[in-house]
A and B are shown apart, each in its own frame.
Chain A
Amino acid sequence: MKATVLVRPKPGILDPQGKAVEDSLRHLGFKVDEARVGRLLDLEVEGTDPEAARAQVERMCAELLANPLIESYEIELGETT
């Protein structure tokens, strides 16, 4: 089963990378109020039960994929392959 994890810097956390992107976009003439840079992980996890898969990916996020002090995450489950 496919799972996608979106990891984002928490609101209020300084994101220098996002700031640099934001400044560059402005340089190009785009009207941007804010840009934040996160991380996307595409996973292929075992099993077909969405509940079990979600629980497993939750644990992955808690143990490795995100640092709860500075990052939030969202999990999206894809179709069974």
Chain B
Amino acid sequence: MTEPAPRIAVVVFPGSNDDRDAALALETLGAEPVLHWHAEPELPAVGAVVLPGGFSYGDYLRAGAIARFSPAMQAVAEYATNGGYVLGICNGFQVLCEAGLLPGVLRPNESLSFVCRDVAVRVERNDAPFLAACETGQRLTIPVKHGEGCYFADAELLAELERNRQIVLRYEGESPNGSIDDIAGVVNADGNVMGLMPHPEHAVDPLLGSSDGALILQALVERARERLLAAA
């Protein structure tokens, strides 16, 4: 008998546009994705939550600033505080930063241009929950597509992130957005919440140029499975 597919919620905000790609990628990797509408105040029983890419609430005010007030986000915050696994991709990363679940902020790209291309990112540590299938120092090829991906933290916060080893992914080669210290992905202090600008869900099939994103999402699926088994 095969192991049951772990359920993973993909939160859908008005303006999300990578929710279905994320769900499809998770399904391909053995999970049972559950699309979860932002207005629902209660999360279903899931092993992990994904906040997908897109332009939630039209990116009004600041990207991610409005989405964090949605009922689903209150639940996600509680879920994360209780140790639940949360992955924010692109706009999802912006939402997590604005919600204070991840440190820092994402600002308009230094070039002011929307950037859509494959980037190389280096895995800074593979002991983070969603990077367990990677090697430290491994170079992943994953696409980015964003206008506001310039990660910023002030000197004090940056030192804290370094100290706590919260910087987990860095761009290699030409930076797509001017992020400080080439930061492409960070985790919270406990490691159960991660955000990244590149889109692993768009890189799960070699037919589309790279399957490196599957390394991240597969690890997420495994963590979700473990968590659900532990709770059962």
Supposing A64-B65, A65-B61 touch, asked if A70 and B105 sit within 8 A by C-beta, the answer is yes
* Contact of B164 with A by CB under 8 A: no
Chain A contact-residue range equals 10 to 19
Q: Which residue of A lies closest to B157 (CB)?
A: A69
Measured between beta carbons, the chain A residues less than 8 angstroms from B61 are: 64-65
Measured between beta carbons, the chain A residues less than 8 angstroms from B109 are: 16
Within 8 A of B (CB), among A30-67: 64-65, 67
Minimal beta-carbon separation of B103 from chain A (angstroms): 9
* Contact of B178 with A by CB under 8 A: yes
- Alpha-carbon distance between A20 and B113 when the two chains are bound, in angstroms: 11
Measured between beta carbons, the chain B residues less than 8 angstroms from A16 are: 108-112, 178
Within 8 A of A (CB), among B106-149: 107-112
* 0 or 1 for each of B137-180: is its CB under 8 Å from A? (1 = yes): 00000000000001011100100000000000000000000100
Measured between beta carbons, the chain B residues less than 8 angstroms from A65 are: 61
* 0 or 1 for each of A7-19: is its CB under 8 Å from B? (1 = yes): 0000001101100
* Contact of B104 with A by CB under 8 A: yes
Minimal beta-carbon separation of B159 from chain A (angstroms): 14
Are A14 and B110 within 8 A (Cβ)?
A: yes
Measured between beta carbons, the chain A residues less than 8 angstroms from B62 are: 67
Are B153 and A69 within 8 A (Cβ)?
A: yes
Measured between beta carbons, the chain B residues less than 8 angstroms from A70 are: 105, 107, 152
Supposing A16-B108, A16-B110, A64-B61 touch, asked if A69 and B178 sit within 8 A by C-beta, the answer is no
- Alpha-carbon distance between A64 and B69 when the two chains are bound, in angstroms: 10
Tell me the total A-B contact number using a CB cutoff of 8 A. 31
* Majority DSSP secondary structure for residues of B touching A: loop
Chain B contact-residue range equals 10 to 19
Measured between beta carbons, the chain B residues less than 8 angstroms from A69 are: 104-105, 152-154, 157
Are A14 and B178 within 8 A (Cβ)?
A: yes
- Alpha-carbon distance between A65 and B150 when the two chains are bound, in angstroms: 20
Q: Which residue of A lies closest to B108 (CB)?
A: A16
Which residue in B98, B104, B108, B178 is a CB contact (below 8 Å) of A17?
B108
Supposing A14-B178, A70-B152 touch, asked if A20 and B112 sit within 8 A by C-beta, the answer is yes
Are B105 and A67 within 8 A (Cβ)?
A: yes
Minimal beta-carbon separation of B47 from chain A (angstroms): 31
- Alpha-carbon distance between A69 and B152 when the two chains are bound, in angstroms: 9
- Alpha-carbon distance between A16 and B148 when the two chains are bound, in angstroms: 11
Q: Which residue of A lies closest to B69 (CB)?
A: A64
- Alpha-carbon distance between A74 and B104 when the two chains are bound, in angstroms: 22
Measured between beta carbons, the chain A residues less than 8 angstroms from B150 are: 14
A-B contact pairs, 12 of them (CB 8 A): A14-B110, A14-B150, A16-B108, A16-B178, A20-B112, A64-B61, A64-B69, A67-B62, A69-B105, A69-B152, A69-B154, A70-B105
Q: A16-B178, A64-B65, A70-B107 are in contact. List 6 more A-B contacts (CB 8 A).
A: A14-B107, A16-B108, A17-B108, A67-B98, A69-B152, A69-B157
